[in-house]
Structure 1
Amino acid sequence: MYELSKLEILNYLNGHNDDELFELADQTRKYIFGNEIFIRAIVEFSNVCNKKCFYCGLRAPNSKINRYRLDLPTILEAAETAASNGARTIVLQSGDDFSYTKKQIGELVTELKNRYDVAVTLSVGDRGLDEYAYWAQCGADRCLIKLETSNPELYEKIRSGESFEARLHRIKSLRDMGYEIGSGIIVGLPGSNIKDILQDLLFLTDLKLDMIAAGPFIPHPDTPFAECAAGDLLLSYRVTALLRILNPGANIPATSALDSFDSRGRELGLGRGCNVIMPSVTPSAHRADYNIYPGKNSVAIDVSDSLFQTENMIRNLNFIPSSSKGFSRRSKNVQ
């Protein structure tokens, strides 16, 4: 595997040789994963959130959004349709919505694990560590806990005074419980610069994460960052390519934010080091309401169609839709 100095990373971030960077990232992905692309089916079961993050359309003060909560049978139906159509990872995602009890989420995890041969990922925010421990006992395999930035001061600003150290403690605690951990950043956040992104890359690599996501900043009209400039799409590709080189065995998704800039955004991401696609399988009546940023889930299609289109895209790029659960390769000592 390749080793990069800080100066080399900075040069790549500044676009000194994109062709070389993307080729190195693609070679690294292929060496570890072959041509397999992992599919994570996401059920976004609630867009209610108690947070006030400056960048997110789900923020609690946003009164313009159409709020929804799915009941447990509806959540299970969407997840089971995805599983029966070949998805081997189900992601249960919501805003920080505490109306769902520990036992209810545990019931969802247990039912999915009992009925299907799937991995279950939780992306439900700052719930109690005791709750996460219970869900691990129910069979949950992975957690997504985004940082968005490794700069503590910027983190506090964009998340309305929340503690970066508390978030980091949560990540480390969940890892100690046995979860695979995913985190990541937003590229081009207002107030960040190229040196911050360099630090983000080094920080995320030091965390030895199982999954790392990096997508471009997209200003949402109903947030304090509405008038800020969007992130740079090409810079976002450079970041994910560098993450692949620095973290060969981590799962790195081609995020849906890429498609908000370019209809072929995720396709390009797969050719530049990414190995995961995460289609939404939220019921079509509510999918567009999970509006973190403009353009997300803008097309309402059925669960089976969403997975079918994803698999077709993968095949058309001469990749292979994986039939595995897609666990991290870090545990296999590939780093």
Structure 2
Amino acid sequence: MNISFETLLQKDSFTKEEIIRLLKANGEQEKALFKRSHDVKLKHIGNKVYFRGLVEFSNICKKDCLYCGIRASNKMVNRYDIADDQILKAAKFAYEHKYGSMVLQAGERSNPAFVDRICQLLKDIKKVSNDELGITISIGEQTKETYQKWFDAGAHRYLLRVETSNPKLYNKIHPDNEEHSHATRLACLKSLQDIGYQTGTGVMIGLPFQTYEDLANDILFMKEFDIDMVGMGPFIEHDQTPLYEYKDDLMSLNDRFRLTLRMIAVLRIMMKDINIASATALQAIDPLGREKALKIGANIIMPNITPTQERANYLLYQNKPCIDEGADDCTNCMEARINMADGEIGYGQWGDSLHYKSRL
């Protein structure tokens, strides 16, 4: 017999069937879900929101994921690779504006010169910030040795989105070759945890072929993997990718947006002390998208501090917001957004995952 929705919401953990029920909530039930996740957030991690200054330093990528605008075979992309001094300038900006942390993100490469370059950059970022700036990196699948080198050089958080926990769905949104393997991605996540990184992952919501059961399994996967931080957002199609041909089969952008908020809410209730990022893609659909995510469970926001002239070339999806703003504009905008969401900015703090600390 089904328990009432109100009784279900008082639970701390859910079965797959219960998660599906929550993900399908609408109207008053959706409001009740968001109220519960908001209360859980305040109780377990407070109302602090932490900045991660995002530098998307290169859109050169060896991968060919079928959903991504910067996939290797997209010949219409203007490729760029920001010089190290510009990256360090952005790091200095983050440090001087008391961001606490920054994120280095790029297309995936793993050649020795690139690996060594990241090592040096990490050391230099620590130097220009008096060893005070926290560093997250998100540069895809690498060997365990590479992850260890980068950890030793100063990175302490790593985001590697699994995109989906369903291997069959993963295979439908990636080319069928050894370069794109679900098993490899999981092995990389395990390596990151073993080394000691605060380990983050995430999924896309509203993909072609994706079901509510897939999304419920994604949440259970993150719980079982004991993940420290999550960045997940709505799938937004890009017209220079193979998956674009399925655009007419997708749920509406607004439905993908609402479903993403419900995913964040359910995850917050089940994993009370992890860090959850408010994804930029939410704002691509709803001008107040990121604030809404902060209100109901997210606690991380990533102001884009990439030099403005390159922002328009890092388009994983279309209609990406903030591509023509400078770093100062982005900071002022973020402050206003966080205040609107009743949050308090954790200036100068790393904002590490409480879950990571508790599982050490």
Name the aligned partner's letter for residue 165 of structure 1.
A
Tell me the equivalent position of 1:218: 236
Tell me the equivalent position of 1:236: 260
Tell me the equivalent position of 1:102: 115
Structure 1 residue matching 2:243: 3-state secondary structure: coil
Q: Deviation per CA, 1:256-310, whole angstroms, max 9, x where unpaired?
A: 1101111111111111111111121100000111100012244312212212221
Structure 1 residue matching 2:227: 3-state secondary structure: coil
TM-score normalized by the length of structure 2:
0.89
Tell me the equivalent position of 1:191: 209
Tell me the equivalent position of 2:306: 282
Tell me the equivalent position of 2:21: 11
Show the 5 A alignment for 1:316-335.
Answer: 316-323=340-347, 324-333=349-358
Write the distance in 2 (CA, Å) between the matches of 1:105 and 1:332: 26
Tell me the equivalent position of 1:148: 163
After superposing the two structures, state which structure 1 stretch, 225-234 or 170-179, moved more. 225-234
After superposing the two structures, state which structure 1 stretch, 282-291 or 26-35, moved more. 26-35
Aligned equivalent of 1:270, options 273, 294, 299: 294
Write the distance in 2 (CA, Å) between the matches of 1:297 and 1:135: 30
2:198 is the counterpart of 1:180: yes
Write the distance in 2 (CA, Å) between the matches of 1:331 and 1:276: 15
Tell me the equivalent position of 1:201: 219
Write the distance in 1 (CA, Å) between the matches of 2:60 and 2:351: 29
Name the aligned partner's letter for residue 101 of structure 1.
F
Q: Deviation per CA, 1:78-121, whole angstroms, max 9, x where unpaired?
A: 12112211111110100013465222111111111233211111
After superposing the two structures, state which structure 1 stretch, 224-233 or 171-180, moved more. 224-233
Q: Deviation per CA, 1:227-274, whole angstroms, max 9, x where unpaired?
A: 322552111111111111111111101101101111111111111111
Tell me the equivalent position of 2:53: 41
Verify the 8 A CA contact 2:292 2:341 in the aligned structure 1. no
Write the distance in 1 (CA, Å) between the matches of 2:148 and 2:100: 23
Identity of aligned residues (%): 35
| Structure 1 unmatched runs, 5+ | none
Structure 2 residue matching 1:271: 3-state secondary structure: helix
Write the distance in 2 (CA, Å) between the matches of 1:38 and 1:49: 29
Name the aligned partner's letter for residue 60 of structure 1.
A
After superposing the two structures, state which structure 1 stretch, 300-309 or 203-212, moved more. 300-309
Tell me the equivalent position of 2:183: 165
Name the aligned partner's letter for residue 66 of structure 2.
F
TM-score normalized by the length of structure 1:
0.95
After superposing the two structures, state which structure 1 stretch, 14-23 or 226-235, moved more. 226-235
Tell me the equivalent position of 1:137: 152
Write the distance in 2 (CA, Å) between the matches of 1:244 and 1:137: 31
